[in-house]
């Protein structure tokens, strides 16, 4: 058979697209070079252990692996920073610090090709090795500003956070580690209402006031004022203010904001963290921070700071289209549509176009700057993830199945049902050694549920009316949505265990949240007041 397609997650670039892409690379590399950074290039394959050693937060399953002739496990470089730290600690060991390095390389990660995920991510970035402290951070953030200025004609901004803030606040809450992680996830995902609920029983703790606001504290320098008013002076907040003041002295203040809710799972970063957002791009185009422990992991302890820019996102045609102030909201068609309309009407939005849609799929509301897009549930997630819709209304079932690379800000309370494990009446599902077969429309949810029980099962994906599978003898059980329980009953099935509760959620694209903050917060506020 002749192979005439490119591998999953890869693509060719032709003519104008290639020119735009090379143009961005040229602009960035010239800038870095002109500022005293020297180019470094490392192999596209590295030993897997290198990334284990670096404490890199990239999950194992996201790395593309190869086994070499001696049986050693290698990976296609999933990140540029660890290999550069390796070089600095070995070949460059005798070269005095600080070292200023830049790279123009592709990193490889296995994404979900069916959802537009790319396995090849071209990056351009810098590493400033061997310099700690404010001056080095000012240099790195200023370089990030200059780099975005060079390639984002429609506007951009950078947000600063501090990796040290969350751990000290979490310590003051005296929570078990599992709860700290739960709280971290709620803050990182900007689950506004869920975080409020979660923290109810911690109201007496000293860090409660700030932690309960942390996911909402993004914006201008007033964010630091509010944080300080809630927790008193803190060195991390003081540091961010000093950094902002220093950046203001070099004329960068208009490009710099804050997000105190930037809280990463693994403390790879040790100080300032930053992300860059460009008008028209649905995901951050730049990401970086201070990582003072990485070089030490390779035997040459030294502080370091750096950032990487996504050249693909920066050179896409769509990234040069300025976004409008109107919000685009993807609504799940079917069961959730009427409830969403009810909620919006309760707070005064005229939804008549959505109530009489005909065959049209996009509807402008006459009295609010919002375009409603009607889509199937998994597509709501795809549109919001890619930033072609700013917000979405979708069931938690779909989020649990498809993942959540977006902010999940509100539980809207309607569309309530649950995931349950169900079997034919009078069946002992757990009482056998045989590998059980489970039919479901939600294979990821089912797989995780049984993994949590350390149980091997065979999962069969069914597209609908899953109840048929055990009746016809194809499966021993199903994992499916149960609302009233009528469908199970009428088909001789019984629920034996709840898997997860489900209800409709309001989700927000991570870049849109930052680029259209005022409009999006207004809409979230409206939805929240409709719930109350
Ligand atoms: N009884 C229920 N069955 C299925 N979904 C429900 C139920 N109750 C609430 N929901 C919520 O409604 C959402 C949309 O359900 P709906 O049935 O309209 O679409 P779907 O089942 O995903 O698609 P379709 O039936 O068109 O294949 C679900 O994702 C879920 O969050
Ligand atoms: O507990 P109940 O109130 O009976 O509701 C649960 C049923 O509703 C859903 O099916 P849906 O009607 O969406 O059809 P589908 O199976 O084709 O998705 C779900 O998959 C169950 O079959």
pLDDT digits (tens, 9 = 90+) for 258-296: 999 999 876 689 999 999 999 989 999 999 999 999 999
Whether pLDDT at 320 is above 60: no
What's the pLDDT score for residue 209?
96
ipTM: 0.95
pLDDT digits (tens, 9 = 90+) for 205-224: 999 999 999 999 999 999 99
User: Between β-strands 218-219 and 370-375, what pairing exists: parallel, antiparallel or unpaired?
Assistant: unpaired
Any idea what the Cα angle at residue 519 is, between residues 515 and 524, rounded to 5°?
Answer: 110
Q: In whole angstroms, how far apart are CA 67 and each of 21, 47, 62, 111? A: 32, 9, 16, 20
Closest atom, ligand 2, to C-alpha of 489: 4
What band does 118 get if pLDDT is binned at 50, 70 and 90? confident
pLDDT digits (tens, 9 = 90+) for 399-422: 999 988 899 999 999 999 999 999
What's the pLDDT score for residue 264?
81
- Class (C level, CATH) for 13-157+278-322: alpha beta
pLDDT digits (tens, 9 = 90+) for 29-45: 999 999 999 999 999 99
pTM given for the model:
0.92
pLDDT digits (tens, 9 = 90+) for 120-155: 999 999 999 999 999 999 999 999 999 999 999 999
Q: Which residue, 252, 14, 221, is CA-closest to 147? A: 252
Distance 480 CA to ligand 2 centre (A): 8
Provide the residue ranges of all domains of the chain, joining segments of one domain with +.
13-157+278-322, 164-263, 327-416+504-531, 417-502
Residues lining ligand 2, CB < 6 A? 464-467, 480-487
377 CB under 6 A from ligand 1? yes
Whether pLDDT at 319 is above 50: no
Long-range Cβ contacts of 27-30 (<8 Å, 24+ apart): 27/150, 27/151, 28/104, 28/124, 28/147, 28/150, 28/151, 28/309, 28/311, 29/102, 29/104, 29/124
Q: Which residue, 520, 501, 523, is CA-closest to 509? A: 520
What's the pLDDT score for residue 113?
59
Peptide bond into 98 cis (omega under 30): yes
Long-range Cβ contacts of 177-182 (<8 Å, 24+ apart): 181/265
User: Between β-strands 304-310 and 391-395, what pairing exists: parallel, antiparallel or unpaired?
Assistant: unpaired
Q: In whole angstroms, how far apart are CA 508 and each of 157, 389, 392? A: 18, 9, 6
Give 332-353 as a 3 state SS string: ECCHHHHHHHHHHHHCCCCCHH
What's the pLDDT score for residue 8?
82
pLDDT digits (tens, 9 = 90+) for 152-167: 999 999 999 999 999 9
Do 327-416+504-531 and 417-502 agree at the fold level? yes
Distance 476 CA to ligand 2 centre (A): 19
Please tell me the number of the ligand nearest to residue 414's CA: 1
Rounded to the nearest 5°, which phi and psi values hold at 94? -90, -5
Look at the domain 417-502 and name its fold.
Answer: D-Maltodextrin-Binding Protein; domain 2 (3.40.190)
Going by alpha carbons, the residue nearest to atom 15 of ligand 1 is 335
What band does 2 get if pLDDT is binned at 50, 70 and 90? confident
Distance 487 CA to ligand 1 centre (A): 13
Instruction: Pick from 338, 374, 395, 399 the residue to mutate for probing ligand 1's pocket: most ligand atoms within 8 Å of its CB.
Output: 395
Looking at domain 327-416+504-531, its CATH superfamily turns out to be Periplasmic binding protein-like II (3.40.190.10)
Going by alpha carbons, the residue nearest to atom 26 of ligand 1 is 334
336 CB under 6 A from ligand 1? yes
Percentage with pLDDT > 90 across the chain: 88
Residues 437 and 474 sit within 8 Å (Cβ to Cβ): yes
Q: How far apart are CA 371 and CA 363, in angstroms?
A: 5
User: Between β-strands 73-76 and 65-67, what pairing exists: parallel, antiparallel or unpaired?
Assistant: antiparallel
521 CB contacts (<8 Å, ≥6 apart)?
none
């Amino acid at each position: 058979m002749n192979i005439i397609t490119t591998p999953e997650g890869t693509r060719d670039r032709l003519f104008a697209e290639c020119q735009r892409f090379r143009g961005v690379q040229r602009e960035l590399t010239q800038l870095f070079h002109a500022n005293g950074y020297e180019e470094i290039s490392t192999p596209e394959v590295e030993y897997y252990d290198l990334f284990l050693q670096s404490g890199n937060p990239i999950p194992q399953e996201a790395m593309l692996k190869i086994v070499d002739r001696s049986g050693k496990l290698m990976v296609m470089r999933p990140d540029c920073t660890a290999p550069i730290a390796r070089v600095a600690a070995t070949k460059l060991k005798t070269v005095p610090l600080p070292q200023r390095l830049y790279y123009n390389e592709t990193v490889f990660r296995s994404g979900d090709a069916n959802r537009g995920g790319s396995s090849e991510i071209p990056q351009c970035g810098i590493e400033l090795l061997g310099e700690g402290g404010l001056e080095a951070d000012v240099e790195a953030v200023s370089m990030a500003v200059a780099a975005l200025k060079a390639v984002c004609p429609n506007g951009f901004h950078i947000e600063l956070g501090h990796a040290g803030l969350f751990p000290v606040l979490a310590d003051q809450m005296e929570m078990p580690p599992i709860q700290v992680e739960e709280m971290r996830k709620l803050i990182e995902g900007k689950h506004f209402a869920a975080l409020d609920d979660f923290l109810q029983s911690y109201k007496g703790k000293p860090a409660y006031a700030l932690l309960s606001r942390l996911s909402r504290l993004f914006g201008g320098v007033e964010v630091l004022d509010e944080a300080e008013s809630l927790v008193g002076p803190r060195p991390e907040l003081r540091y961010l203010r000093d950094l902002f003041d220093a950046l203001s002295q070099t004329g960068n203040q208009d490009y710099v904001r804050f997000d105190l809710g930037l809280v990463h799972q693994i403390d790879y970063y040790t100080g300032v963290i930053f992300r860059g957002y460009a008008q028209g791009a649905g995901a951050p185009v730049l990401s970086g921070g201070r990582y003072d422990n990485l070089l030490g992991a390779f035997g040459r302890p030294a502080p370091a700071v750096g950032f990487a820019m996504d050249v693909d996102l920066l050179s896409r045609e769509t990234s040069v289209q300025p976004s409008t102030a109107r919000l685009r909201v993807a609504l799940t068609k079917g069961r959730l549509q009427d409830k969403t309309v009810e909620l919006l009407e309760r707070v005064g939005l005229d939804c008549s176009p959505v109530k009489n849609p005909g065959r049209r799929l996009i509807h402008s509301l006459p009295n609010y700057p919002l375009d409603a897009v009607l889509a199937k549930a998994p597509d709501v997630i795809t549109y919001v993830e890619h930033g072609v819709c700013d917000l979405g209304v979708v069931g938690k079932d779909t989020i649990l199945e498809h993942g959540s690379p977006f902010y999940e800000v509100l539980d809207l309370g309607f569309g309530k049902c649950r995931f349950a494990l169900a079997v034919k009446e009078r069946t002992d599902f757990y009482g056998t050694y045989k590998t059980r077969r489970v039919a479901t429309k939600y294979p990821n949810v089912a797989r995780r549920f049984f993994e949590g029980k350390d149980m091997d099962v065979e999962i069969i994906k069914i597209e609908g009316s899953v109840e048929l599978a055990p009746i016809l003898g194809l499966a021993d059980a199903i994992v499916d949505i149960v609302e009233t329980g009528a469908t199970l009953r009428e088909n001789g099935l019984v629920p034996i265990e709840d898997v997860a509760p489900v209800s409709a959620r309001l989700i927000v694209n991570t870049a849109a949240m930052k680029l259209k903050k005022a409009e999006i917060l207004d809409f979230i506020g409206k939805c929240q007041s409709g719930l109350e």
